[in-house]
Amino acid sequence: MDIGEILSKAWKVIWKHKILWLFGVLAGCSVTGGYHGGGGGGGSSAAGSGGSGFINTQNGYSSGPPILAPSAQRAFGDFFRWLGDIQPWVWIAIAVGVLALIVLISVVTILLGNLGLTGVIKGAGMADHAAEDEKPISFKAIFKAIKPYYWKVLLLTIGFNIAGLIVGVILAIPIVLFTVCTCFLGLLVLIPIGWFVNTLVYFSTIAIIEEDQKLFDAIGRGWNLMTKHLGKVTLMFLILGVLQIVFGLVIFVPIIFIPIPLLVNLLTTGFAQFPTIGLTLSGILMLVIIPIMIFLGGVLQAYVLTSWTLTYHRLADASPLEPEVISEPKAKKSKS
């Protein structure tokens, strides 16, 4: 297996077939008020109540730090007083609504993430077997090709997650004891285990999509390829892992610039005014930087999944499936 050829071709594949970037973004899915105010006269009454400037003894509401302007303290005080007047059933309804929204978002995220995962793997497989002069693969072609495998891959992913949760609950106490007794060096043992399971999920998924394997047959196929070529798979994992860490940090760096306008505005005004300008600029930066980060993360995800798909192809070519021998039914003896 030529690792250099795999890494080079993976880049060529995602560069030519840029629709894989979109599927990479989707695959990444299944990769998220500081001041207290007081009512009128809150600042002076709080100061007289104990000198802390944080509690208003007249109305029981937080009056906020004394560095805030009186108008800002009154605004925050009115806001928290309004919150205090809301009926309990309203909070219960809000909690139920938020919980339902979280569940809905989680389900949509899982479905979209599975679509992206299957799309990148299938698209990379189609590109690997296509001629160099063929046109880029379309979204419609990939979407049509993954239909027979989508739900099997989803079931595989959910199954591994449930199994991991059960094993984690059962072994939680032994793992903690082992980690503490080994001065946390035991965590180093868990790293290769997590790596092996993660790569097994990749290989099993690719086996379903590329070889139309059944669920447990796919797990067995992935296991056989990994154990038979453990050294090559380990080397590929280390290379892709380092690439993900390095480029992941580069992609993440711009996020540190988001709060800078807000902090500058607060420092220049001495925390005496509401930072309208700084908050606006930070919001604009967030709206610009976050989508760029998501896009670049999707490209990175597409590259990693394409590399694993090509790796699987090369290892599978070296370890072809054994043909299934079907015995002929015995002929019935004729009655004499």
pLDDT band at 71 (very low <50, low <70, confident <90, very high): low
pLDDT band at 163 (very low <50, low <70, confident <90, very high): confident
Per the structure, the complete domain to which residue 143 belongs is given by 3-31+89-318
For position 241, what pLDDT does the model report?
A: 87
For position 171, what pLDDT does the model report?
A: 76
For position 45, what pLDDT does the model report?
A: 39
Query: Average pLDDT over the chain, rounded to whole?
Result: 78
- The pLDDT tens digits of the residues spanning 272-301 come to 666 778 788 888 989 999 999 999 999 999
| Stretch among 13-27, 73-87, 124-138, 210-224 having the lowest mean pLDDT | 73-87
Spell out the long-range contacts of 314-321 with Cβ–Cβ below 8 A and sequence spacing 24 or more: 314/1, 314/2, 314/6, 315/1, 315/225, 315/228, 315/229, 315/232, 315/233, 316/210, 316/211, 316/225, 318/1, 318/229, 319/224, 319/225, 319/228, 319/229, 321/211, 321/221
Residue type, 168: G
| Stretch among 19-28, 127-136, 246-255, 324-333 having the lowest mean pLDDT | 324-333
235 domain residue, yes or no: yes
What is the CA angle 77-80-82, rounded to 5?
105
70 domain residue, yes or no: no
Question: Is the pLDDT reported for residue 336 higher than 50?
Answer: no
pTM for the full predicted model: 0.73
307 domain residue, yes or no: yes
- The pLDDT tens digits of the residues spanning 256-276 come to 888 888 888 878 877 666 677
170 domain residue, yes or no: yes
Question: Is the pLDDT reported for residue 51 higher than 90?
Answer: no
69 domain residue, yes or no: no
Strands (E), the chain: none
Beta carbons of 73 and 38 less than 8 angstroms apart:
yes
76 domain residue, yes or no: no
What is the CA angle 8-297-262, rounded to 5?
145
36 domain residue, yes or no: no
For position 57, what pLDDT does the model report?
A: 42
75 domain residue, yes or no: no
Closest CA to 51 of 66, 35, 73, 71: 66
Question: Is the pLDDT reported for residue 325 higher than 60?
Answer: no
**Count: domains in the chain:** 1
Higher pLDDT, 320 or 219: 219
If you compute the radius of gyration of the chain from its CA atoms, what whole number of angstroms results?
29
Beta carbons of 98 and 284 less than 8 angstroms apart:
no
Which positions ≥6 away from 156 have C-beta within 8 Å?
Answer: 201, 204, 205, 208, 215, 218, 219
Closest CA to 239 of 167, 307, 320: 307
How far apart, in whole angstroms, are the C-alpha atoms of residue 144 and residue 141? 5
